[in-house]
Structure 1
Amino acid sequence: MLVITAAPPPPGRRVRTPALFKRLLLVGACLSALPGAAQESAAPPVKTAKDVQGWMEKNRNWQRWGPQDQLGAVNLISPAKRKQAAQLIREGVSVSVAHPLETQKSADVTHPLAHQMIATGESADSSYSMDSLTIAYHGFAHTHLDALCHVFNEGKTFNGYDQKLVTASGCGTLAVSAYKDGIVTRGVLIDLPALRGVAWLEPDTAIQASDLEAWEKKTKVRVSSGDAVIVRTGRWARRAAKGPWDVSAQSAGLDVSTADWFKKRGVALVATDVGLDVLPPRVEGVTFPVHRMLINSLGIAVIDDADPEALSKAAAARKRHDFFFSVAPLNVEGGTGSPVNPIAIF
């Protein structure tokens, strides 16, 4: 913010403000309004279901990219942004950000992958091996991308489409196939356990917008328009050490305060190693408020159950927390999402 001070006029003398001085005051006001020129103003707290609905109506990106838009905030990833992201590839080292598909039921896996072999090498006349995969990927086990048709609110999906367009035949609009060309951009890892000096966040830890800003300050990496943000809570590290637990009932995750932050930053995609929202929910009557705010209102692409453990180690070893990031979902017409294997490249 530009601050201009002047000595007070002598007693009894009326002083006219010079035209130049007025112009300087105007310039100062304009500079203070620029993003990043001053501290970001705090949004009103979101505590109730009514607050969530009010925030969504005030901040929604509906019609921002036209009445027929299918991509939402992914529109923020311009060709120039992709070229900029490609310049982050310096070593050619790639790291998967997907968790292995779970094949056994456990406290946090209610729908394991069904993997059936159709043809094997056990028969002497076999020329090929073949298998069949069946997966119900939504939930808290499998790394997946949510399509924009995934979340309804008051009868509407993102961009104001009627939720009745989602039928037994699939999503009539906003299906995951809208992302068939891939989501390719700059990725930024926000490693909350590393910020706090712990191995993982304990379940039900709420991640605030102030935590995201503290990580930016620590790493000197600022999230910008069109970025993909990968938030690590350490869920998989804790699971490896202590065993699975019911993540649907208790999980570290994003507080509603982060939605305003993601909007201001112009984030295109948010990935977490949990189900995005902190659980138990902090907003009475709304189980997944951040899902609603990001997907339905802002049109941000969301990846649940990512696994950034290897990415955390790779980033720490290089002292680099931004990188080239790509996601290629299955081209499923009418699909509400897709299993994905996101790739970070240093």
Structure 2
Amino acid sequence: MGSLGKDDELGGLNFLDAEEVARGLASIRSHKTFALSVVIGSPKGDPVWPGRSGAVKLMTQDKGSYMSGKLQPLAGGLEYADDYVTMFLQGSTQFDGLGHTWYDDKLYNGFDAHTTLAGLEKASVLPLAEHTASGHAVLLDIARYRGKERLQKGELITLRDLLDCAAKQGTKIQKHDILLIRTGWLSTFYEEGPAKFYDPPFIEPGLVYSRELVEWFHDTEIPLLGTDTIANEVTVDPNNGIVLPLHSALMRNLGVVFNEILMLEDLAKDCAKDGRYDFFYTAAPLKIFRGTGAPVNPIVIK
């Protein structure tokens, strides 16, 4: 992504220009809409990376505040409830800022890792939020392709799997397509519970590193990768023991934007029903100053 300029903080989102937005809009046929975020503060909990905690939502006032006499209705009789949430910015469906992970003390585009002190001065989520991610997207339903409800712990997805799944679906992956991959893994959390989901060792299924995969992302200029897993890739690469190598190879090196913890079940069912796996995708994370990431509720229109 060096050709995008020494000050670039958008990475792959640079590819999503007006022409790409128009191409995405042109794919709309049925006008069915899908909201891809998980519920924040669900009674079933929040699926988060181990070591993080789920959202805590607290009421500051409700009907009880007026019943107890601690609050009085506003002039005219209006009463209202209020609450707030404390959560990890990466604790729900979210975008990673391109400076979220790094190695050799260099972030995306060569920015110094010391620019992360007290908040990301460079490559934060804010530029991504201000630009938005809108364009033509495709869903690759790997679980359905393999004849499963969901992939198992540590199950790998290769470049060949992506291409073969697309071929079986009749889906053409074009340059600058937003790529969504369904593993079904997230449903483990909601259907079988956190204990099963986090059963050690915690190793999600997902994409596995290969030179061919990274070169394909580079040549196809994929702007954004989204999956129904927490990390968008197999947690530990079984070939070399490296943790999250694609965060380095794709996000840090190529500037591919990561959209993680997507709820893809309803979308996948509809795609299987009508045989159409491409659509318009649009998303803008919250505008968090110097944030490492931010919650987002991506919208798909078919």
Give how far 1:88 is off.
1.6
Alignment pair present for 1:119 and 2:61? yes
Alignment pair present for 1:133 and 2:91? no
Alignment pair present for 1:96 and 2:35? yes
Contact 1:99 1:305 in 2 (8 A): yes
Query: 1: CA distance between counterparts of 2:256 and 2:283?
Result: 14
Contact 1:89 1:345 in 2 (8 A): yes
CA RMSD of the aligned region, Å?
Answer: 2.0
Q: Give the share of equivalent positions with the same residue, in percent.
A: 27
**Match for residue 158 of structure 1?**
108
Contact 2:209 2:237 in 1 (8 A): no
What SS is found at the alignment partner of 1:292? helix
Query: 2: CA distance between counterparts of 1:202 and 1:301?
Result: 25
What SS is found at the alignment partner of 1:165? helix
Q: Which structure would you say has the larger RCO, counting Cα contacts within 8 Å and 6 or more residues apart?
A: 2
Q: Which structure has the bigger radius of gyration? A: 1
**Match for residue 263 of structure 1?**
218
Contact 1:324 1:345 in 2 (8 A): yes
The alignment covers a number of residue pairs equal to 282
Alignment pair present for 1:143 and 2:93? yes
Contact 1:204 1:252 in 2 (8 A): yes
Query: 2: CA distance between counterparts of 1:291 and 1:223?
Result: 22
Q: 1:86-114 deviations in whole A, cap 9, x for unaligned?
A: 11222221101111124569795441101
Moved more, 201-210 or 259-268: 259-268
Query: 1: CA distance between counterparts of 2:31 and 2:45?
Result: 36
Aligned pairs for 1:315-326 (under 5 A) are 315-326=271-282
**Match for residue 68 of structure 1?**
7
**Match for residue 253 of structure 1?**
206
Q: Choose the corresponding residue for 1:272, options 227, 237, 243.
A: 227
Q: 1:146-180 deviations in whole A, cap 9, x for unaligned?
A: 00110111010011111111111x11111111021
Query: 1: CA distance between counterparts of 2:289 and 2:94?
Result: 16
Q: 1:278-325 deviations in whole A, cap 9, x for unaligned?
A: 133224352110111111000000011111111101211221100000
Aligned in 2, Cα 1:286/1:104: closer, same or farther, shift over 3 Å?
Answer: farther
Write the letter of the residue equivalent to 1:339: P
Contact 1:72 1:298 in 2 (8 A): yes
Write the letter of the residue equivalent to 2:86: T
Contact 2:47 2:92 in 1 (8 A): no
Give how far 1:132 is off.
0.5
What SS is found at the alignment partner of 1:150? coil
Query: 2: CA distance between counterparts of 1:297 and 1:283?
Result: 20
Query: 2: CA distance between counterparts of 1:308 and 1:212?
Result: 17
**Match for residue 290 of structure 2?**
334
Give how far 1:326 is off.
0.7
Query: 2: CA distance between counterparts of 1:105 and 1:242?
Result: 10
Contact 2:153 2:204 in 1 (8 A): yes
Q: Choose the corresponding residue for 1:234, options 174, 184, 188.
A: 184
Q: 1:103-140 deviations in whole A, cap 9, x for unaligned?
A: 569795441101011121232534221111111143xx
What SS is found at the alignment partner of 2:294? strand
Aligned in 2, Cα 1:279/1:222: closer, same or farther, shift over 3 Å?
Answer: same
Give how far 1:143 is off.
1.1
Contact 2:186 2:261 in 1 (8 A): no
What SS is found at the alignment partner of 1:344? strand
Unaligned regions of 5+ residues in structure 2, if any? 74-78
Alignment pair present for 1:301 and 2:260? no
Unaligned regions of 5+ residues in structure 1, if any? 1-60
Give how far 1:236 is off.
2.6
Query: 2: CA distance between counterparts of 1:73 and 1:172?
Result: 19
Aligned pairs for 1:1-150 (under 5 A) are 61=1, 63-103=2-42, 109=48, 110-122=52-64, 123-124=66-67, 125-126=72-73, 127-138=79-90, 142-150=92-100
Alignment pair present for 1:206 and 2:170? no
Query: 2: CA distance between counterparts of 1:108 and 1:144?
Result: 12
Give how far 1:264 is off.
2.3
Write the letter of the residue equivalent to 1:249: F
**Match for residue 58 of structure 1?**
none
